[in-house]
Amino acid sequence: MTEVRDADSLELLTALDMVAMYRNGTLSPVDVVQSALRRLERLNPEINAFYSVDHEGALEAARRSETRWQAGAPLSQLDGVPTSDKDSLQAVGHPRHFGSSAFDGLTRPSNSDAPAVARLREAGAVSLGRTTMCDFGLLPSGYSTAFGPTRNPWDTSRTPGGSSSGAAAAVAAGIHPVVVGSDIVGSIRLPASFCGLVGHKPSYGRVPFFFQNSPAVVTGPMARTVDDVANMLTIISRPDARDFTALPYDPVDYAEAIKARPAVRKIGLMLDIGFGPDPDPEVQAIVEARAREMAKRLGAELIEIKSPFGPKDYVAGDQFYRLRCLSQLSQLPEENQKRGEFIYDWTAPVRSMSAVDYHAYADRLIVTRSRAMRLMQDCDYLLLPSVAIPAFDAELPGHDPDEMFAGWSNTFIFNLTEQPSVSVPAGLSGGGLPIGLQIVGPRYDDLGCLKMAWVAEQIWGPFPNSPMAGSAEQGDN
């Protein structure tokens, strides 16, 4: 457990640290939430992670949690733990902007919670407010016409990644320890990689989602440790009758189950996915070294895999998601559409696309999916960089605004295949920026992926906190 020296060191605690101290009476949810709110007010002007803060609601929820802990009747292993809600997720009484000025004047407060938000509320977690995201959730950065750029606590000139940009920045800055992100092309794993966090994209259907409008979209946990991610998954994977696509509920305690040794004989390593940005050699070197350490510890064979993907797979993904974004944008009045400047321009080339063209790209993605699934015939788990490059400038919508979708190159395929994947921090670049390693497992094997992530964390030791989150005793990295 992290040692607490004073109220200003609470940002170093994990969620599980917090509940252990609530249980033995050495810490109060009210103290934690008050500290988190002070920290939020101090740091948010620098990182722009929150666009709305609920001081009174958070403190009232903390007081109720404190009463439950004093009575020995907490609601869960997250009772009294501060968190936040991403802009795209419904929360009662709050409008959704989807990060874009295109929704100016059109937003209405939600009258229900998204399933993951509802499960956290039922578990007694304390929401501090609403966090920022990029326009329409499809930019690999924190670029937002509604909120301005969100910034990375490791280096505020760099992006935290998108689309769960504010969520990741808040955790990396030590404002709160855990959060739920959403992911349709990589929006959990990319910001986890850029911000030095653990981010788990569950198998499709593992965590209920509503309204479910894509076989690629999921919600999942982000935190500084694998234990906290697993603990949160236990709670948000609980059933919700609104999602007719959800998997049958599996009442596993992930935080306990991850500590069993994963069954693994062969580990695949793919350092270049075959399209997108030219992989940064430093990213590749860090990921390869960590992969070899994992294989050695597990007594597994490491197989270097040549990518079966190429530019046609990238083009199909790029065009398919431009069309998806256009279908959302086109439902708005023309004058509103133009307010979402970059998205409006990005979708312009597909406005004249025919249904036949669309179907051809959809067919191509089926080929892409089948190739991805065949990768798992050669290995039990696949390792690759979460993102091929380190975090880029915070002011940019993508590392190359002319090829915005390229930022998702290492992640979006595994949304299409419905496979679980988790990004774990593997090291720091020479410039001090986090590098993520992505672990991809067979479909529905969320537990196996998290076991692999837990093993990685045990081998490498605790990852450093961001400079903004303060310092503590850390393992070698």
Active site residues: 86, 163, 187
The CA distances from residue 196 to 75, 104, 203, in Å, are: 30, 33, 22
The CA distances from residue 370 to 306, 422, 446, in Å, are: 16, 21, 20
Contact 180, 222 (CB under 8 A): yes
Burial annotation 459-475 (CB, 10 A radius, 16+ → b, else e): ebebbbbbebbeeeeee
Peptide bond before residue 244 is cis, with ω within 30 degrees of 0? no
Contact 193, 410 (CB under 8 A): no
Q: Tell me the C-alpha distance between 15 and 177, whole Å.
A: 6
Among 316, 378, 323, 382, which Cα is nearest to 350's? 323
Q: Tell me the C-alpha distance between 368 and 371, whole Å.
A: 5
Structure-token pair, residue 158 = 């760099």
201: phi then psi, degrees, rounded to nearest 5: -90, 110
Q: Tell me the C-alpha distance between 132 and 120, whole Å.
A: 19
Q: Tell me the C-alpha distance between 117 and 259, whole Å.
A: 27
Q: Please, which residues bridge with residue 303 across strands?
A: 268
51: phi then psi, degrees, rounded to nearest 5: -110, -10
Cα-Cα-Cα-Cα torsion 48, 49, 50, 51, nearest 10 degrees, comes to 50
